[in-house]
Amino acid sequence: MNALRQYIDLFNDNRKVIEAGSPAVLNAQRDAALAALHGARLPRKGSEDYEATDLEAVFAPDYGMNLTRIAFGGDATESFRCDVPNMSTCLYTCFNDVIVPGPNAMRNAGGMVVETFKEAATRHPEVLARYGSLAQFDDPTVALNTLLAQDGLLVYVPRGVVAERPLQLVNIFNTTQPLMAVRRVLVVLEDGASARMLVCDHTQSKDVNFLSSQVVEIIAGEDSTFDYYDLEESTPLTHRVSTIYARQARGSNVLIDGITLTNGFTRNNYRVTVDGEHAETTLLGMTVAGDEQHVDTHTLISHNAGLCRSNEMFKYVLGDKAVGAFAGKILIKEGCPRVEAYQGNRNLCASPQARMYTKPQLEIYTDDVKASHGTTIGQLDQEALYYMRTRGISEAEAQRLLMQAFMSDVIDGVRLDVLRDRLHYLVEKRFNGTLASCSSCAEACMVKG
């Protein structure tokens, strides 16, 4: 059975309810999304260039949905007492799929605007009108998200505004029944604007099946700067399919960093379009997976202008029967000289049963560029392990230290000092096996305002 069929039927049966709870700009795109889904199929295992992914199976279960926009309530500061010390943020929480401002949330703080789509439809309709301008319906998961989305979060940074406090969005799954959450974020930075955003995905109901469908659109104006950090600490029964789009104008600087420490099934897609000269793109990712976790990454950086630079690095450490996948492409189009583009994928399989699938690609249609790509799949350095053992370090401790060192350069790419230090700590605890699940709320990344 085509898993998409049940969602198409759900929409057709409940269209009035869905549209009644949504801003008009979201409703305006549903017909196009619906048309794209007719006849479409989700990738199955073996249907792509490598055999790691089965999105058909991920979307097949009959998850419940919050079509009537029930506010589940809750206070993140009461139910989720974890923190990144010494970092103050503008905090918003998304309980399942309903966004709730935190007690320290400040709309228009320092000139930055943070609103739900429903609020923005009245207060900033001209900005919200850019919703959907990057999303591509050739991806069925994005078309499905657009078909069913009822609200989202707008982050708008006007011309020349430098947001001093990072914005933090904490996505929390917490219900007693299986649920699919449809989440949407639109980030618009005008010329010369600057902001940083930390998104944390957590699951508190560890024995419940969840599916998160997330689409993020980032529009970076000329000479703007934006950091987007995406940290997932969920549970084995949590499934996540996330697509991040970014479009960069001349002179913009965008960093996107995806970090998976605990999860069930994760598919992360990154689509970056560089439209202006002198733009800089940094795309980083880090995965630590064990048991039967699955983390799958697809990236595409399209250079549509010359005199730009992109740097991409994704690292995986896989243990037990974990599965990792990476498919990355850098595209340099005709008439785009003097582009520098680098792509790397480095992987450690710490168990004979772990599997890694990787496919880096370059497509270059112009001269006078510097571009490279490479991938490695290996095990821990046995000579280094032996050297450390001869100096009284236990085998487990030696392995942990080598795995931490392997991840250091990706963590060091974080441009928020406090978050970078905290990630070193969280990764250490992950390798120690002492990083608690979010169901117990003993460790994660909620920050103090």
HSE at residue 178, side-chain half, CA atoms within 13 A, is 11
Distance, first Cα to last Cα, the chain? 48
336: closest CA among 309, 311, 367, 361? 367
224: closest CA among 198, 189, 256, 196? 189
pLDDT one digit per residue (tens) for the chain, 449 residues = 689 999 999 999 999 999 998 999 999 999 999 999 998 999 887 665 556 678 999 999 989 999 988 876 555 554 444 445 556 788 888 999 999 887 666 555 678 999 999 999 999 999 999 999 999 999 999 999 999 999 999 999 999 999 988 999 999 999 999 999 999 999 999 999 999 999 999 998 889 999 999 999 999 999 999 999 999 999 999 999 999 999 999 999 999 999 999 999 999 999 999 999 999 999 999 999 999 999 999 999 999 999 999 999 999 999 999 999 999 999 999 999 999 999 999 999 988 999 999 999 999 999 999 999 998 888 776 767 666 777 777 777 777 777 888 898 899 999 988 889 889 888 888 888 776 554 444 344 444 33
CB of 52 closer than 8 Å to CB of 322: no
Residues 6 or more apart whose CB falls under 8 angstroms from that of 136 comprise: 142, 245, 271
Residues 6 or more apart whose CB falls under 8 angstroms from that of 381 comprise: 402
Q: Which amino acid, 196?
A: R
Integer angstrom CA distances of residue 255 from 197, 279, 413: 10, 11, 9
Integer angstrom CA distances of residue 345 from 176, 283, 297, 332: 38, 11, 11, 19
Three-class DSSP category at 64: strand
CB of 53 closer than 8 Å to CB of 45: yes
Residue 82 phi, psi (nearest 5): -115, 155
Quickly list H helices, 44-135: 55-59, 76-79, 117-123, 125-128
**Tell me, what's the pLDDT at 324?**
95
Q: Count the helix, strand and coil residues of the chain and give each as a percent rounded to the nearest 5.
A: 25, 40, 40
346: closest CA among 291, 412, 285? 285
- Give the separation between CA 183 and CA 169, rounded to whole angstroms: 11
Beta bridge partners of 71: none
Angle at 244 between CA 313 and CA 312, to 5 degrees: 15
298: closest CA among 165, 134, 141? 141
